[in-house]
Amino acid sequence: MADGCAIIAREMVDTTQSEAAPPKDEPRGCLFALSQPPLMIFLAVIGCLLLMAALHDLLLL
């Protein structure tokens, strides 16, 4: 009868904190940089300009 039930082992439910916490002075990676609004606006403008240039070359020339 218990064939359809999943048994969760104690190792899967362990929520204790590990001793090795990341240091506070660690530099942030590129995903943090990409989450900044001014950079995303700049990249969107550059992307739109490239898209408009590509469409101009493909459709009008």
Contacts of 33 (CB under 8 A, 6+ apart): 39
The confidence score (pLDDT) of residue 33 equals 75
Residue segments in the chain with a per-residue pLDDT below the cut of 70? 1-23
How would you label 17-39 residue by residue, b for 16+ Cβ within 10 Å and e otherwise? eeeeeeeeeeeeeeeeeeeeeee
Number of residues that this document lists for the chain: 61
Q: Which residues contact 61 (CB under 8 A, 6 or more apart)?
A: none
User: Residue 31: what pLDDT?
Assistant: 78
- The token duo for 7 is 């048994």
Q: What residue type is 34 in one-letter code?
A: L
What is residue 4's DSSP assignment?
G
